Structure formats: C-alpha cells, structure tokens
Amino acid sequence: MPKGHVINVKNPCYATMTSEEEKTYGTPVVFSKAMNVKVDTETSTETLDGDGADVDSYTGTGKTTIEFQVNDVPLKDQGALLGHRFDKTTGALVIEAGDKAPYVALGWALEKSNGKMQYRWYYKGKFEEISEDVKQIEGGKATFATPTLKGTFTHRTDGIKGCKWDEDEATTLPEDILKTVTEPPAKPSV
C-alpha cells in the first residue's frame, strides 16, 4: 500500500500533568470534535561570517504554539484546561482572580489517505483563554460559532517537548496511544 497523506484531524485530547519529574499525567479526555489544528514552532538561525563567507550556522528551536479549532469546548473542560472552577450542579464556569492554567499534555490523531494514522503528543503546555467569534443569523443563514484553543508548549525538564508516530513508518505502534499519555520510545544506548 502506498504511503498516505494526512487528510483529517480528530480526537483532540488533554491530560493534566501531575508530576513533571515522574512524567505522570491524569487520564486523557477527548474534549471535542476537531476542525483544524495549526502547530507552529519558533526557530532561529544564526550565521557566522568570516573572510566574506558563511563559516558556520546554528539553528535553535523555541516554544511551540498549537491552535485547535473545534466544534465546542464543554465548560467542564474549559475549567480543567484554564484553571477555572466548574460547578457541576449549576453548570457554571466561575472565572476568578488568580486562576492559573495547569500544565497539560495535548494529543490528537491524523487520518491519512491510505487509511493509516499519525498521532501526536505534546507533553507540557498551558492554554490561553478561549477565542470565540459569534455572529447573528442573517437572512436566515446561520454561521456556527466554533471556538479556538491556543496553547504554548515547552520542553519538560528531561528535554522532551513532544512525539509523533506514523503507522506508515512503524513496525509496531504503541497500543492505545491516545488512551494514555504515551511516552516516546527510550533513546538507544550508545
């Protein structure tokens, strides 16, 4: 079967980081249906010149910004992602001074044109308040309001920021990649 190309994003999920040192997380929660994901990693390239020519260069990477446009983000999940209090009895999300978003891991699946999958986990990030753009019904035409989540992800103390898996390139994928925060494979011994 030929190698496929990514055609769909699905199953966005998060898990609250419980210990960075021990690399432990809560159980992943699929929070919506995905519409679009954009991943942007800052890079910087510096070049050393000498005698009128490029002598050396260095490229470094910084933070990764992930924007997810989804169908909806339930209030309970907004509370978990943004550090707000959710009252289950009244269905209220209470936004208070001093609320702080916790560190979370973020994962999702990417469907490929050949039926195989890719998977992503980013291990340490915080989300900003959700962006929404709601419009009135005009001339009988409704425009669905779909929120966008924006998070900034950095390296954990062990130096790992994220991991990507591709069924086309694997002999064996880890089981249930999105049902638990799946750690990357161990670095081979030298």
Domains observed in the chain: 6-46+58-169 (2.30.110)
CB 79 within 8 A of CB 95: no
Give residue-wise pLDDT tens across range 149-178: 999 999 999 999 999 999 999 888 898 999
Token pair belonging to 26: 């809560």
- pLDDT for res 2: 77
pLDDT at residue 1 above 70? no
Q: How far apart are CA 7 and CA 174, in angstroms?
A: 22
Length of the chain: 190
Give residue-wise pLDDT tens across range 18-71: 999 999 999 999 999 999 999 999 998 898 888 888 888 888 889 999 999 999
Q: How far apart are CA 165 and CA 117, in angstroms?
A: 8
Give residue-wise pLDDT tens across range 90-145: 999 999 999 999 999 999 999 999 999 999 999 999 999 998 888 999 999 999 99
CB 102 within 8 A of CB 17: yes
Q: Is 82 strand, coil or helix?
A: helix
- pLDDT for res 167: 94
